[in-house]
Amino acid sequence: AQTVTQSQPEMSVQEAETVTLSCTYDTSESDYYLFWYKQPPSRQMILVIRQEAYKQQNATENRFSVNFQKAAKSFSLKISDSQLGDAAMYFCAYRREYGNKLVFGAGTILRVKS
């Protein structure tokens, strides 16, 4: 069975600085998808960024980028120029290539200090 591990329960970053959230996963499959979701307090969880395992290039969405290391089974999220609105719980998730359900990590609370 696939597992996802987020080893940082909480992280803090100063506004305008850069922070990296860690995620590792375990799978025996070669093709799959990885995701980072963000859940602000009492609001809907939204997709931040997605990575297809067959793509070597790291995904980027504006200030959000990932460092995908397939051999190491590592999928970290880098947030550049952090803003107060980035404060949220961040979940790393895995999905099989031909599957529907997501396998999540335990989440990392990100606090942004002004």
Partner 1 sequence: EAGVTQFPSHSVIEKGQTVTLRCDPISGHDNLYWYRRVMGKEIKFLLHFVKESKQDESGMPNNRFLAERTGGTYSTLKVQPAELEDSGVYFCASSQDLGQVMNTEAFFGQGTRLTVV
Contact footprint for partner 1 (CB under 8 A): 4, 9, 33, 37, 39, 42-47, 50, 52, 91, 93, 97-107
Query: How far apart are CB 60 and partner 1 at their closest, in Å?
Result: 17
Vertex 67 angle, CA 64 and 70, to 5°: 140
Burial class (CB in 10 A: 0-12, 13-18, 19+), 95: middle
Query: How far apart are CB 80 and partner 1 at their closest, in Å?
Result: 23
Query: How far apart are CB 78 and partner 1 at their closest, in Å?
Result: 21
Contact of 4 with 94, CB cutoff 8 Å: yes
Q: Residue 33 or 74: which CB sits closer to partner 1?
A: 33
